Amino acid sequence: MGRSAAFFDLDKTVIAKSSALAFGRPFYRDGLITRRDVVKSAYAQLMFRLGGSDEQTMARTRDYLAALCKGWQVEQVRQIVAETLHELINPYVYAEAAALIEEHQAAGRDVVLVSASGEEMVRPIGALLGVTDVIATRMAVVDGHYSGEIEFYAAGPAKVDAVGELALERGYDLTNSYAYSDSYTDRPLLECVGRPTAVNPDRQLRKLAAENSWPVLEFRHPIPLGRRLRDRPAVPVAAAALGVGVGVAIGIAWYGRHRRTRTAPAT
């Protein structure tokens, strides 16, 4: 039997919001997105909280993502994330998720964040949690700027491909490894390990978990890191046992989809 690992989706699993959408305001402030993009992203955040995003929506973001980020300075994006991380992300980390990550690390397992958001966002969030391994969307870079091409889009089956490559490289036994996600779109990720768990699941994932007798966790306590350290353990996990730009692109996809639905003529 090889080593085991724990793979965590990020949004609504480890943090209580969309990691990429959270940076919409500073991106607007620094001129990376327009006021119209901000409005669409705000609408998308509401839709994200109400229902998540399906595979079709995630797929539509891939092409838009490339155009949206083309020309952005990579260093500018990294600086924005570094300056606003503690304000925009730290207060929204689920205490239950942080405790669960620590439990896996204490048991000697590697913890890996797996997210469709951009690596420039996911890696600093991982560092905030004491996690060094991430699988995230990677944009092609030319002369310090995003070229408009996507090297790797970490969504759906692509997540499983990356997990498999990492497992082969490090000798992980996936049949004895763990995966956590809130979304049915991560079904391939959950099914590729022997110990899947649904966290704050959407309707489809909750049904899938019930059909497969998977554990379901409800995380409800986002607490800033400072408080977790003072009050540790903040919330026992047992008590809960019941892209750069990716988020903005998801927002635009959501906005367009729902706007078309509202304005479509009756038949």
* Residues recorded for the chain: 267
Quote the CA–CA distance of 65 and 150 in Å, as a whole number. Answer: 8
> What sign results for the dihedral spanned by CA atoms 172, 174, 180, 182?
positive
Structure tokens at 11: 């949004």
Distance CA 184, CA 46 (A): 19
Q: How far from 186 is each of 181, 183, 218, CA to CA, in Å?
A: 7, 6, 17
Residues 111 and 133 sit within 8 Å (Cβ to Cβ):
yes
From the list 11, 182, 186, 202, the catalytic residue is: 11
Sign of the CA dihedral with 101 first, then 211, 17, and 132 last? positive
Query: How many angstroms separate the CA atoms of 165 and 112, rounded?
Result: 13
Q: What are phi and psi of 173, to 5 degrees?
A: -95, 100
- Decide if 143 is catalytic: no
Residue 231 annotated as catalytic: no
- Please tell me the distance from the alpha carbon of residue 93 to that of residue 12, in angstroms, as a whole number: 9
Known catalytic residues are: 9, 11
